[in-house]
Amino acid sequence: MKAAVLGAGSWGTTFAQVLCDAGTDTVLYARKPQLAKAIAGLHENPDYLPGVALTPALDATSDPAEALDGADLVAFAVPAQSLRSNLLEWVPLLPRGALLVSLMKGIELGSRLRMSEVIAEVTGPELAGPAAERIAVVAGPNLAGEIVRREFTASVVACVASEGALVLQGACHTPYFRPYTNTDVTGCELGGAVKNVIAIAVGIAVAMGLGDNTRATLITRGLAEIARLGSALGAQTQTFAGLAGMGDLVATCSSPLSRNRTFGEYLGRA
């Protein structure tokens, strides 16, 4: 199997390394030519993961056509609000029948679509096969700074077609990265997006000097609200009790590596 990861930020680079470590031939696309050269030649991402040695097996390019050539799996790791514009450029290059994977956690402004829905809407008329069955997502506690150093973690790979989830699981399963399959794409994506709001609230509480009781209240009651919202939008309630719900929420609300919690702390000090 060959994979292409489009987006060389911290998570895109990290997931590309996970794929390589799982034995999947992977090419990482970086928008900046100098960054692609650093990753391919120096085995380091100086812009997003400075000082971290990447696997020499990871190749990188600034040419999206080169990255996508012959790819069986295409993972998108760009900012959520730029996904649509990027996809419009990449659609003519996407291999027909490839499994399309969202690594993003967000909701598109205006349309209020989840990332898998944006992918389906933009690529549906162009690529073969029912859109939902060839689109998968990666969810769960995925703090790139830990995973890139090969610290142990578990994740969720979801696709409405169990076959797609199994393909993705096989492509990224390593001794330190254990992916569990799920068919509840809606729940996995909502858990990953909405937990960011709770993490910001926790960061604000930390900045205000509030203690563990407050943080525990925000996390647990936040999880209850996320589950209710997810249920109303068609997700399976049990999804939020697992890695894509509680697991992701706890990591994001507790870790100093979390951008949303950090943003909340800055906001609380303002």
Clarify whether 195 is annotated catalytic: yes
Q: Determine which one of 2, 32, 37, 195 is catalytic.
A: 195
Half-sphere exposure of 122 (CA within 13 A, CB side): 23
Do 217 and 258 reside in the same domain of the chain?
Answer: yes
Number of domains present in the structure of the chain: 2
Do 38 and 51 reside in the same domain of the chain?
Answer: yes
Domain boundary among 183, 215, 246: 183
Domain region containing 146: 2-183
> Which tens digits make up the pLDDT trace of 17-35?
999 999 999 999 999 999 9
* The model's pTM: 0.95
- Give the whole-angstrom CA distance, residue 234 versus residue 112: 15
Task: Select from 186, 182, 185, 181 the least CA-distant residue to 171.
Answer: 181
> Which tens digits make up the pLDDT trace of 192-204?
999 999 999 999 9
Do 95 and 71 reside in the same domain of the chain?
Answer: yes
Task: Select from 87, 252, 69, 99 the least CA-distant residue to 169.
Answer: 99
pLDDT exceeds cutoff 60 at 128: no
Q: Over pLDDT 70: what percentage of the chain?
A: 98
The arithmetic mean of pLDDT across residues 120-131, rounded, is: 74
Domain boundary among 152, 183, 214: 183
Domain boundary among 160, 183, 206: 183
Do 98 and 68 reside in the same domain of the chain?
Answer: yes
> Which tens digits make up the pLDDT trace of 254-266?
999 999 999 999 9
- Give the whole-angstrom CA distance, residue 244 versus residue 156: 6
- Please, are residues 77 and 102 in contact by the beta-carbon 8 Å criterion? no
Do 173 and 247 reside in the same domain of the chain?
Answer: no
